Structure 1
Amino acid sequence: MAAVALTGAQPADASAHTPPGAVRAGGAGALLSPQEHAELLKEAARIAVELAKALNLDPREVLQPVDAAQDADGTVHFRYNRTFAALPVLGGDLVVHRTAQGALSDTRAHRASIGVPSTTPVVPATQVAQSLHTALPPRLVVWSAAGTPSLAWESVLEATQDDGTPSERHVVTDATTGGQLYAYEAVHTGIGQGQYNGTVPLGTTHTLLGYEMNDTARGGHRTYDMHHEAKGRGDLFTNQTDRWGSGDQSNDETAGVDAHYGAAQTWDYLQDVHGRTGIRGDGVGAYSRVHAGSNYTNAFWSDKCFCMTYGDGPGNAKPLTELDVAAHEMIHGLTSATAGLEYTGESGGLNESTSDIFGTAVSFHADNPTDVPAYLMGKHLDLDGKGTPLRYLDQPSKDGHSPDYWYDGIAGLDVHYSSGPANHFFYLLAEGSGPKTVNGYDYDSPTVDGRVVTGIGRADAERIWYRALTTYMTSTTDYSGARAATLQAAADLFGPDSATVTAVADTWSAVNVNS
């Protein structure tokens, strides 16, 4: 499954909505497989000594590869940290750019030549530790982030910030004079103002030059600005302060805030509710790209880049970065990493429904007062100009395309519409049929034969669907298979003779799935 989009009306490739020639030829980043990325890193290590000489670095400097990337035109970018006489150099990181023709250039954190008169400290480590009231010994480094490089001690002070956030304060002390050169907090909860989510906390990273939308607490999830280009990763959002966006779509950071926040909330939901660390369960974060294409009215997940991509909607005024939409995209990655539901026919509808179900679940878990949780997908996007949501879980047919109930032949529908019965099943299982109000939203969910269905609660409905997805569904699971998978999941969780198993069976019957 290369790419999965949010709606059926638009293709997943943003280039379809970008004027030809809008992207600089060869300037787009190439999507590398893990193997290709690993090979580039091996090359970075292999040529490190050669590059150091080409850059006229001091013979005592060693380049240590950190990352590598490649552009469509063959240009490669090798990112390195540096050591000097075997000491880490703070502010010594650089990126070496090599064209396909072999021409070299570099981008450095600090241009000053690395070098210190001596690597023997005057101020001992014990004195520094005592002055900072820490039992953790400092490490000897070369400080080269500003001014003339100097020998220094780097101490890490672990504590708790006033609001309960863990603190990891780094203090850099001159190893000759004992004076403080620099200090920073490595654990940051930035503040952003999104278009849909309001003012929210963000996981960001402090650098020597400012801040980045890099959530190291959640697998290094990063958010990039594509600047309305159709391809490539774009530029990582950076800021001199840890304040992002304005709440208005005219500020490019605003969409980044919503996407970054959505990724964080999805990570937290999977970890808090299902004990899963990251989409693949491997602790590795994906990344997000916003402002894709021009007037691109879609959002999609791609397994190839392990990333989410968001267009800005009609007139570039409605970025598709609402919380449940952001979660929807990330959950496609979860489905790919587990059941691998093929994106066609009934399995494709179940794939889409899984993203709608857990997109809704993430929204309820986040409980954002600005974007009040509801069983309505994309309720703020207004892509059709009528002020209506993309999809309704309580009565899917309200969108004019999705059926409320299963029927023979549903596999022929677009997967965004064949998801209807599964979305309806989840709502009924969680909340039950008939009129009710949840979080100020009114619902009146029907059933195929008018039977009354009593919900078991959203939390248990989520647990059942998650276990069914990760344990019993396969790439070709259809609606009958989904019924069997959820019944088995309910039996596992609540017992084979439990009322919950009966409720699951009754709810499937309410959407016309009986075997």
Structure 2
Amino acid sequence: MKRAGLAATTALVAVAATTQAALADPRPPSPPTPSASAPAVAARALAAAAPRGDELKAGPDTSFAVTDVIVDRDGTTHTRMTRTYRRLPVLGGDLVVHQTRTGGWKGASLGLAEAPAAGTPKVRADDAEETADDSRRDVVGGGQLVYEARTADRVPRLAWRFRTEGRQPDGTPSRVYVSVDAKTGKVLMREETVHTDAGQGRGLYGGTVPLETTRSGGTFQLSDPTRGNTHTADSKNQSDFCFLIFCLWRAPSTALTDADNAWGDGTAGDRATVAVDAQYGTNMTWDFFKNTFGRNGIGNDGKGSYNRAHYGNKYANAFWDDSCFCMTYGDGDGTKMGPLTSLDVAAHEMSHGVTSKTAKLVYSGESGGLNEATSDIFAAAVEFYAKNGTDVPDYLVGEKIMLPGAGRSALRYMDRPSRDGKSADSWSAETGKLDVHYSSGVANHFFYLLAEGSGKKTLHGVEYDSPTANGSSLNGIGIDAATRIWYKALTAYMTSSTNYAGARTATLNAANDLFGAGSAQSAAVAAAWSAVNVN
């Protein structure tokens, strides 16, 4: 159903810095001191980009805006930018500029196949809106002209972009952005921005764990002042009810309270029990990113997210939502899945926020598979970081939430993804056509092979048997090194439209940065990608 007469949606491209430089800017780069501030690095990168229009697929009327700066220990800088052309956002036009300590050019990571070309719409916004509308979602607000370049060929096309809202088939809220070609009227991209993962004091899964809480009067709140006031709420089995852009009802999100600061009893009969698991999961994920990479919260800004437990009625899913900066967990259907608040599910959902704040991998095609795999990879890494004796670390996803009626022991298997019956073990030309939860199998398998190697083995009591597409035999470099390579690739080299070939390049660059060109780790990255048919 079409809905009109409402205010336009908010800006589609948010940036963390407003410094811009047209490509015609002739100013030469001025090398900063080794202790240069982020603004100085940003200005230097913008100036360095100005004369490199051909290399950056950027002609006249293109501008860049800096969104993030990373400085390596040796002074190498990685400056992430968004792009506009004739003042219109170029979706998929984001890039990362790499420079030496003294400002020397080291290249750029980008996904565009060619520069945007000027054009005028041949399809009216109203007609494009009819195309964007569907039976399960309603268009909210008006359309915005953009250049859409996140398609398989990565060619920027003038498009009308609309926000639609509704529900996914299992009841998960849905917020899909639809790009409609402004010349042909065909749909170029549908991007779901509520990221789900069907998959959880004394927790149901994590056992007895320490919690930081906040005293308020004579009670305690399940809110952690040491981690950005991250808190957990009881949604009381309610679901959000939204109409157009207005939510008439939001499931509760007020922090849980307790009189004696002893939360949960380890059974689902106590509603605080799964809240303990959710809070513990966010705590461990926060600590993992901070202690491993120096990342201060999901957005690297010290801001805490929050959890909503007991969402919906027999809701067998969990999701991350950028709009509320929160994770939401159902109690499961009681036959195949229990409450979805296990440590790896919590880490998976929270890690979607990290991807959203860094590479912004679009949730479709091969980049969508990389988005999902990133969350699975960090979920495994968080389990190994936590060293929880009740929930031993493994390369399985969602194993704790599965009930006997599910007919399998986990949601996904990183050593042999095809064990779930749908995921891909290795890349093919059809990979990008799979659901992102299944195309993720290629990257999940790559990561397992990189960390642990191929063949049969038993780790922490869990048996694995990982094949290779090319019949090779691999030795792993360990999960710590593999995780550091993936994080570096995500934050410094991947962009919104990175595909599997681009992920290979990004991880090789990351391995070279961290361990040196020609290192055993770099060779292992190349071998692991070849083992999943990404060459």
Deviation, 1:418, is: 0.4
Corresponding position: 1:243 with 2:262: yes
Q: Does the aligned pair in 1 maintain the 2:305–2:326 contact within 8 Å? A: yes
Q: Deviations over 1:293-321 (max 9, x none)?
A: 00101000000000000011113971100
- Cα distance in structure 1, aligned partners of 2:408 and 2:343: 17
Partner of residue 351, structure 1: 371
- Cα distance in structure 2, aligned partners of 1:467 and 1:296: 35
Structure 1, unaligned stretches of length 5 or more? 16-191
Q: 2:531 aligns with which of 482, 486, 510?
A: 510
So what's the TM-score if we normalise by structure 2?
Answer: 0.61
Partner of residue 13, structure 1: 173
Partner of residue 230, structure 1: 239
Partner of residue 369, structure 1: 389
Partner of residue 315, structure 2: 296
Partner of residue 308, structure 1: 327
Query: Counterparts in 2 of 1:263-302, with a 5 A limit?
Result: 263-302=282-321
Which residue identity lines up with residue 276 of structure 2 in the other structure?
A: V
- Cα distance in structure 1, aligned partners of 2:407 and 2:502: 36
Q: Deviations over 1:124-159 (max 9, x none)?
A: xxxxxxxxxxxxxxxxxxxxxxxxxxxxxxxxxxxx
What's the secondary structure of 2:505's corresponding residue?
A: helix
What's the secondary structure of 1:389's corresponding residue?
A: coil
Partner of residue 174, structure 1: none
Q: 2:495 aligns with which of 461, 471, 474?
A: 474
Query: Counterparts in 2 of 1:127-276, with a 5 A limit?
Result: 192-231=201-240, 232-234=250-252, 235-276=254-295
So what's the TM-score if we normalise by structure 1?
Answer: 0.63
User: Does the C-alpha gap of structure 1 residues 217 and 329 become closer, same or farther in structure 2, counting only changes over 3 Å?
Assistant: same
- Cα distance in structure 1, aligned partners of 2:288 and 2:309: 22
Provide the aligned C-alpha RMSD in A: 1.9
Which residue identity lines up with residue 390 of structure 1 in the other structure?
A: L
Q: Does the aligned pair in 2 maintain the 1:14–1:293 contact within 8 Å? A: no
User: Does the C-alpha gap of structure 1 residues 307 and 217 become closer, same or farther in structure 2, counting only changes over 3 Å?
Assistant: same
Deviation, 1:233, is: 4.6
Query: Counterparts in 2 of 1:318-329, with a 5 A limit?
Result: 318-329=338-349
Partner of residue 509, structure 2: 488
Partner of residue 390, structure 1: 411
- Cα distance in structure 2, aligned partners of 1:469 and 1:199: 33
Corresponding position: 1:431 with 2:452: yes
User: Does the C-alpha gap of structure 1 residues 10 and 424 become closer, same or farther in structure 2, counting only changes over 3 Å?
Assistant: farther
- Cα distance in structure 2, aligned partners of 1:428 and 1:387: 22
Structure 2, unaligned stretches of length 5 or more? 1-11, 13-162, 176-200, 241-249
What's the secondary structure of 2:202's corresponding residue?
A: strand
* % identity of equivalent residues: 54
Q: Does the aligned pair in 2 maintain the 1:14–1:311 contact within 8 Å? A: no
Corresponding position: 1:409 with 2:409: no
Query: Counterparts in 2 of 1:54-73, with a 5 A limit?
Result: none
What's the secondary structure of 1:451's corresponding residue?
A: coil
What's the secondary structure of 1:300's corresponding residue?
A: strand
Which residue identity lines up with residue 524 of structure 2 in the other structure?
A: A
- Cα distance in structure 2, aligned partners of 1:248 and 1:389: 21
- Cα distance in structure 2, aligned partners of 1:315 and 1:505: 43
- Cα distance in structure 1, aligned partners of 2:317 and 2:327: 11
What's the secondary structure of 1:505's corresponding residue?
A: helix
Deviation, 1:209, is: 2.4
What's the secondary structure of 1:194's corresponding residue?
A: coil
- Cα distance in structure 2, aligned partners of 1:243 and 1:289: 19
User: Does the C-alpha gap of structure 1 residues 431 and 281 become closer, same or farther in structure 2, counting only changes over 3 Å?
Assistant: same
- Cα distance in structure 2, aligned partners of 1:346 and 1:286: 28
Deviation, 1:207, is: 1.5
- Cα distance in structure 2, aligned partners of 1:361 and 1:311: 23
User: Does the C-alpha gap of structure 1 residues 10 and 423 become closer, same or farther in structure 2, counting only changes over 3 Å?
Assistant: farther
User: Does the C-alpha gap of structure 1 residues 483 and 11 become closer, same or farther in structure 2, counting only changes over 3 Å?
Assistant: farther
User: Does the C-alpha gap of structure 1 residues 370 and 490 become closer, same or farther in structure 2, counting only changes over 3 Å?
Assistant: same
Q: Does the aligned pair in 2 maintain the 1:431–1:457 contact within 8 Å? A: yes
- Cα distance in structure 2, aligned partners of 1:465 and 1:315: 35
Q: Deviations over 1:221-261 (max 9, x none)?
A: 01011000002251320011110011111211011000000
Q: Does the aligned pair in 2 maintain the 1:223–1:259 contact within 8 Å? A: yes
Which residue identity lines up with residue 358 of structure 2 in the other structure?
A: T
Deviation, 1:11, is: 5.2
Deviation, 1:450, is: 1.4
Which residue identity lines up with residue 398 of structure 1 in the other structure?
A: R
Deviation, 1:496, is: 1.2
Q: Does the aligned pair in 2 maintain the 1:14–1:230 contact within 8 Å? A: no
- Cα distance in structure 2, aligned partners of 1:508 and 1:9: 34
Which residue identity lines up with residue 302 of structure 1 in the other structure?
A: D
Q: Does the aligned pair in 2 maintain the 1:224–1:233 contact within 8 Å? A: no
Query: Counterparts in 2 of 1:66-145, with a 5 A limit?
Result: none
Q: Deviations over 1:34-78 (max 9, x none)?
A: xxxxxxxxxxxxxxxxxxxxxxxxxxxxxxxxxxxxxxxxxxxxx
Deviation, 1:500, is: 1.3
- Cα distance in structure 1, aligned partners of 2:454 and 2:313: 42
Q: Deviations over 1:366-396 (max 9, x none)?
A: 0100011110000011165224100000000
What's the secondary structure of 1:262's corresponding residue?
A: helix
- Cα distance in structure 2, aligned partners of 1:207 and 1:326: 26
Deviation, 1:498, is: 1.2
Larger Rg belongs to: 1
- Cα distance in structure 1, aligned partners of 2:285 and 2:387: 12
- Cα distance in structure 1, aligned partners of 2:257 and 2:487: 35
- Cα distance in structure 2, aligned partners of 1:236 and 1:347: 35
Which structure 1 residue ranges, 4+ long, deviate > 3 Å from structure 2?
A: 8-11
Q: Does the aligned pair in 2 maintain the 1:380–1:387 contact within 8 Å? A: no
Q: Deviations over 1:381-418 (max 9, x none)?
A: 11652241000000000000101000002111100000
What's the secondary structure of 1:201's corresponding residue?
A: coil
- Cα distance in structure 2, aligned partners of 1:370 and 1:497: 40
Query: Counterparts in 2 of 1:445-456, with a 5 A limit?
Result: 445-456=466-477
Deviation, 1:12, is: 2.8
- Cα distance in structure 1, aligned partners of 2:465 and 2:226: 41
- Cα distance in structure 1, aligned partners of 2:172 and 2:352: 13
Larger displacement relative to structure 2 (416-425 or 493-502): 493-502
Q: Does the aligned pair in 1 maintain the 2:171–2:315 contact within 8 Å? A: no
